[in-house]
Amino acid sequence: MKARVTVTLKTGILDPQGKAIEGALKSLGVAGIASVRQGKVFDIELAGADPAQAEAALKDAADKLLANTVIENYNIEVRS
């Protein structure tokens, strides 16, 4: 089974990396970009075939390692 965990900064948390990308895009002449925020994505393959069990494992993984829940949100998408 495949899944994707997307980790993004919470609203209000400063994102200097995103700001740098924004500036770089401006100096590269890419028009129309108002703001950029960067996050992480994890494409995970799971051994089992039970979606509920997979989601529990992914939640566990995100809480323990993939996201810093103090400053980041995560979203889990399980694809059969």
User: Which residues bind to a second copy, rule: CB under 8 A?
Assistant: 6, 8, 18, 21, 24-25, 28, 30-48, 53-54, 57, 60-61, 64-66
31 vs 70, beta carbon nearer a second copy? 31
**CA 41 – CA 75 distance, rounded (Å):** 10
49 vs 70, beta carbon nearer a second copy? 49
For 19, residues 6+ apart whose C-beta sits below 8 A from its C-beta are 36
Lookup: tokens for 80: 């059969």
Q: How far is the CB of 58 from a second copy (least distance, A)?
A: 8
